[in-house]
């Protein structure tokens, strides 16, 4: 899987963010991309578990930064 090219293949949501199944739909859309990213990191020599943790950390950091910028 070419991780960079797969960004163009993320399915758009069909549900409203307030819909009970929105998060499930998002997981289905992003899950394969995360799997590919972790596979690529592991093939490059990174520990898969530490890479997954780092993705979670960076995601939380991005949300915090965005929230701070919005004021």
pLDDT at 32: 93
Which run of H or E residues covers position 24? Answer: helix 22-43
The per-residue pLDDT string of the chain (71 residues; one tens digit each, 9 = 90 and over) reads 455 566 678 999 999 999 999 999 999 999 999 999 999 999 999 999 999 999 999 999 999 887 777 76
Tell which phi-psi region holds residue 61, choosing left (phi > 0), alpha (psi between -120 and 50) or beta. Answer: alpha
């Amino acid at each position: 899987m070419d991780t960079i090219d797969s960004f163009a293949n993320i399915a758009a949501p069909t549900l409203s963010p307030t819909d009970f199944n929105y998060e499930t739909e998002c997981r289905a859309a992003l899950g394969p991309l995360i799997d590919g990213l972790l596979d690529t990191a592991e093939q490059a020599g990174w520990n898969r578990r530490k890479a997954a943790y780092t993705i979670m950390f960076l995601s939380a950091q991005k949300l915090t930064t965005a929230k701070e910028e919005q004021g």
